[in-house]
Amino acid sequence: MRDRPPEMRVDPVEPLQWIARRRIVVRTPLINFTLGPGDGALVSEGDAVAPGVPLCERTLDARLVDVGRLSGPTWPVGGEAGERRRPPCPGNWWRGAGERRGSGERKVAWPPSGTLLYQAGGRWTAAAGEYQSILVSPIHGVVRAVRNGVGVTVEASGTGLLAAVAAGEPSRGCLDLPGLTDGDLPPSALDVSRAGRVVVAGSRVSAQAIGRARAMSIHGLIAASAGENSLRDLRAAELRQRASLAPPAPFGLIVLDGYQRRPIASPILALLAALAGSDVAIVTDPPMLVFDGSDLPLPEMPPDWIRVRSGRYAGREGRFLEPAGYRRFGAGMHLDGAIVCFADETEPTTLPFADLERFVF
């Protein structure tokens, strides 16, 4: 074993503190529902929301519209008739003008409503369209911020399980934890009997499994990893559905660890097993699985339980035994080493501290 240079020595009082901490759950998280140009919020700051409550109206065929000159003191900014009027500004909701006379006294139908974008030469341009879909809340919470064309922020009243990547639309369903074969769920297990549920798909989800789940009206999938091509295919399917002016189906995907194939961590799998049969929600900003209530008993975990997050042993779990000192690893690198014992082995293994992580609830 090579000695550490004197200027790099650290007093090993708490060697567990050298291992990166990974937080699993967050209490009352802030959830963002992103809006685009032409989308309008249907809630106000301070409103309480529940699953199924409309949050916003999304415009499927948003396009730029010249709305002409708007007089500030007399222009209404959405809401009920007779409300306080104020000058227009970017981001305000434009309520539309029905029909107007075009060239040759021909009536031209305007889009009914949209979002003001900018003013040039005294004339305003808005993003508006004629076909809308309603985005409903998948969670319980309180609205904290609202801005048309930007987003709605909701403080959830439950607890969130953090993930690395999310795709699709916010959705809600009963959590289904089927029996996994070698850590994976075969695509054939995604049948119509699981319609309306959020299914745990195992260590990796493929584009075939995502397509089958959407066809079977499954509301969401949870996996430890997913390839970039699978996420790209899901995004392309969403764009095709939006181009057809059909309301998007409620389907969400969350990836717990990222792109590298690995099994679901045992503490997270134990938490999912405790949630099986209860209603959960998938949200995409931040990537998270939200479940109601904070009194759920969290799985007990030894304080020295670790997981390898990178390198050749990525995804394996075990116990931290003791520091190994300053060691030489691959590519000639000299790093702080840790002696760990994997759960399925009896012989210890030496790994860099930088490759390890430990979970914190």
Please give the residue range of the domain that contains residue 241. 162-293
pLDDT of residue 164: 92
State residue 344 phi and psi, 5-degree precision.
-105, 15
Residue among 361, 143, 160 at smallest CA distance from 254: 160
CB 158 within 8 A of CB 290: yes
Report d(CA 349, CA 347) in Å as an integer.
7
Quick one: 193 and 271 in the same domain?
yes
Q: Is residue 238 part of a domain?
A: yes
Quick one: 286 and 302 in the same domain?
no
Quick one: 176 and 242 in the same domain?
yes
Quick one: 95 and 189 in the same domain?
no
pLDDT of residue 254: 93
Q: Is residue 146 part of a domain?
A: no
CB 59 within 8 A of CB 35: no
Angle, CA of 50, 37 and 112, to the nearest 5°? 85
Query: Which long-range contacts link 203-209 to residues 24+ away (Cβ below 8 Å)?
Result: 203/261, 203/262, 203/263, 203/264, 203/315, 204/261, 205/230, 205/253, 205/255, 206/230, 207/233, 207/234, 209/185
**Strand-pair partners of 325:** 337
Report d(CA 2, CA 335) in Å as an integer.
10
The H or E element containing residue 358 is strand 356-360
112: three-class secondary structure by DSSP: coil
Q: Is residue 52 part of a domain?
A: no
Q: For the chain, how many structural domains are there in total? A: 3
| Domain end (from 133, 153, 184) | 133
Quick one: 286 and 166 in the same domain?
yes
Quick one: 184 and 288 in the same domain?
yes
CATH number of the domain enclosing 208: 3.50.30.10
Token reading at 95:
């309520």
Across 323-344, b (16+ Cβ under 10 Å) vs e yields bbebbeeeeeeebbbbbbbbee
CB-based contacts of 1: which residues, under 8 Å, 6+ apart? 324, 325, 326, 327
Quick one: 201 and 271 in the same domain?
yes
Quick one: 122 and 234 in the same domain?
no
285: three-class secondary structure by DSSP: coil
| Domain end (from 90, 113, 133) | 133
| Domain end (from 248, 277, 293) | 293
Q: Is residue 155 part of a domain?
A: no
Q: For each of the chain's 361 residues, which pLDDT tens digit applies?
A: 444 454 444 444 478 888 888 998 999 999 999 988 888 888 999 999 999 999 988 888 888 888 877 765 444 444 444 444 567 777 777 776 554 444 444 555 556 677 888 888 888 888 888 888 889 999 999 999 998 888 899 999 989 999 999 998 999 999 998 877 667 788 888 889 899 999 998 888 888 889 899 989 999 999 999 888 888 888 888 888 888 877 778 899 999 998 888 889 988 998 998 898 899 999 998 999 999 876 677 778 888 899 998 888 888 999 998 888 888 887 778 888 888 999 888 888 899 888 899 988 8
Q: Is residue 44 part of a domain?
A: no
Q: What is the pTM (predicted TM-score) of this model? A: 0.81
Report d(CA 50, CA 146) in Å as an integer.
16
CATH number of the domain enclosing 328: 2.30.30.30
CB 210 within 8 A of CB 194: no
Quick one: 206 and 287 in the same domain?
yes
Quick one: 265 and 322 in the same domain?
no
Q: Is residue 246 part of a domain?
A: yes
